[in-house]
């Protein structure tokens, strides 16, 4: 390349950062935010994705780590930024730190739901997804004024997984940025009564399809973690997410975005007379009512058991703690 070619390439790169198409020799950067139930296994999943052998510690507030992979031999390594929101739903305001207008084009969300606690499942999912969606929509509204092309591209991309001729095109409401829903602790869930498992599986299939998300059930078993890893590596490094689909309720679910349909999922699992009595404005609301009839939501408050981080033993520093004790005294 002549000096002019290099200069033109450099200008194009600055004008179009983090394009999905990455030229040879360029670095691809993606960011992923993990959120979900407290003690739901988010840290374990991140460590497995990054192939780290350390044992997970409880996450305090918002934690950051990153992974690097080279696509081919002798090429610069791509970078994936992993953010993890601790504390269940109590600290959801912190999502404003990682998700910004600068990285929104290359951002994705992984929602980890603890299958062993169905009574907390809908509440956790609804509050985290609603607040994240509101925040992303605010960013998109600003971008429409400052950078309309990027805003239009993001809005177009959320429909990418669903072809226009898909029978459910008019029935779904895709999440504004890529979303993966992981049902964790499948080993405990597998011991549940088969009817309960069916209701939870069917509901999560509906929610994932409605939001244009991928869905995978996982546990500490290596085979299941590999499936979750495939979906996360697809978001982080652009790897192939696989085309295999598993919708059998007696087995762990694995459904990449856009490969399910309302006709396959079927109606909400309730009798016709019950469905007739339920007043709902949207399909999502109807599924919520059916689900909460079987699993009434626990009125739990995450804030009550949020310990003072200053007392957390994993952050102990002798000199600082001695001074702190003196000050308190």
Does 3 reside within a domain?
A: no
Does 18 reside within a domain?
A: no
Bridge partners, residue 62, by sequence: 85
| pLDDT of res. 181 | 92
Q: Compute mean pLDDT per 10 residues along the chain, 329 residues long, and list them.
A: 80 59 61 86 79 74 83 76 82 83 85 89 89 89 84 79 71 85 88 87 90 87 79 80 77 83 82 74 84 79 57 81 91
Structural domain for 316, as ranges: 23-328
**The length of the chain, given as a count of residues:** 329
Handedness of CA 320, 322, 323, 325 (dihedral sign): positive
Handedness of CA 218, 221, 227, 228 (dihedral sign): positive
- Comparing CA positions, the residue from 62, 116, 119 lying closest to residue 85 is 62
What are the residue ranges of helices labelled H in the chain?
3-15, 42-49, 118-146, 148-157, 186-189, 194-210, 222-237, 262-265, 272-277, 283-294, 318-328
The answer to whether the CB of 91 falls within 8 A of the CB of 309 is no
Say how far apart CA 71 and CA 101 lie, in whole Å. Answer: 27
Say how far apart CA 59 and CA 41 lie, in whole Å. Answer: 10
Full-model pTM = 0.79
Give, in degrees to the nearest 5, the angle at Cα 200 between 276 and 275: 0
| pLDDT of res. 252 | 85
| pLDDT of res. 323 | 92
Q: What is the DSSP letter of 173?
A: -
| pLDDT of res. 309 | 66
- Comparing CA positions, the residue from 12, 17, 36, 39 lying closest to residue 27 is 17
Does 236 reside within a domain?
A: yes
The answer to whether the CB of 257 falls within 8 A of the CB of 213 is yes
Does 85 reside within a domain?
A: yes
Distances (CA, A) of 231 to 71, 179, 222, 226: 17, 10, 15, 9
Does 2 reside within a domain?
A: no
Beta strand 214-217 with 254-255 is antiparallel
Does 10 reside within a domain?
A: no
- Cα-atom radius of gyration of the chain, to the nearest Å? 22
Domain count for the chain, please give it: 1
- Comparing CA positions, the residue from 232, 269, 190, 201 lying closest to residue 45 is 232
| pLDDT of res. 256 | 84
Does 188 reside within a domain?
A: yes
Does 15 reside within a domain?
A: no
| pLDDT of res. 20 | 47
Give, in degrees to the nearest 5, the angle at Cα 304 between 220 and 326: 105
Instruction: Look up the CATH number of the domain holding residue 288.
Output: 3.40.50.300
The answer to whether the CB of 89 falls within 8 A of the CB of 124 is yes
* Tokens read off for 24: 């040879």
């Amino acid at each position: 390349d002549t000096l002019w070619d290099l200069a033109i390439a450099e200008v194009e790169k600055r004008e179009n950062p983090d394009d999905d198409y990455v030229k040879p020799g360029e670095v691809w950067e993606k960011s992923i935010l993990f959120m979900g139930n407290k003690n739901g296994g988010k840290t374990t999943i991140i460590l497995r994705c990054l192939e780290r052998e350390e044992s997970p510690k409880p996450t305090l507030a918002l934690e950051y780590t990153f992974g690097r992979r080279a696509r081919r031999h002798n090429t610069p390594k791509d970078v994936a930024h992993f953010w993890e929101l601790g504390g269940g739903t109590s600290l959801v305001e912190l999502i404003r730190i990682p998700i910004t207008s600068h990285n929104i084009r290359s951002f994705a969300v992984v929602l980890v739901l603890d299958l062993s606690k169905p009574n907390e499942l809908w509440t956790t999912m609804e509050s985290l997804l609603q607040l994240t969606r509101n925040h992303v929509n605010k960013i998109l509204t600003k971008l429409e004024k400052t950078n309309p092309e990027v805003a239009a591209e993001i809005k177009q991309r959320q429909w990418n997984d669903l072809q226009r001729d898909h029978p459910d095109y008019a029935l779904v409401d895709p999440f504004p940025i890529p979303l993966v829903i992981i049902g964790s602790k499948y080993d405990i869930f597998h011991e549940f009564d088969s009817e309960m498992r069916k209701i939870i599986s069917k509901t999560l299939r509906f929610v994932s399809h409605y939001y244009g998300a991928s869905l995978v059930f996982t546990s500490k078993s290596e085979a299941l973690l590999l499936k979750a890893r495939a979906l996360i590596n697809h978001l982080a490094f652009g790897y192939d997410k696989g085309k295999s689909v598993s919708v059998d309720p007696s087995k762990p679910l694995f459904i990449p975005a856009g490969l399910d349909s309302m006709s396959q999922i079927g109606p909400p699992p309730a009798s016709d007379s019950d469905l007739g009595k339920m007043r709902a404005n949207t399909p999502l609301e109807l599924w919520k009512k059916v689900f909460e009839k079987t699993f009434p939501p626990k009125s739990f408050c995450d804030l009550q058991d949020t310990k003072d981080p200053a007392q957390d033993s994993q952050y102990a520093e002798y000199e600082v703690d001695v001074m702190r004790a003196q000050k308190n005294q």
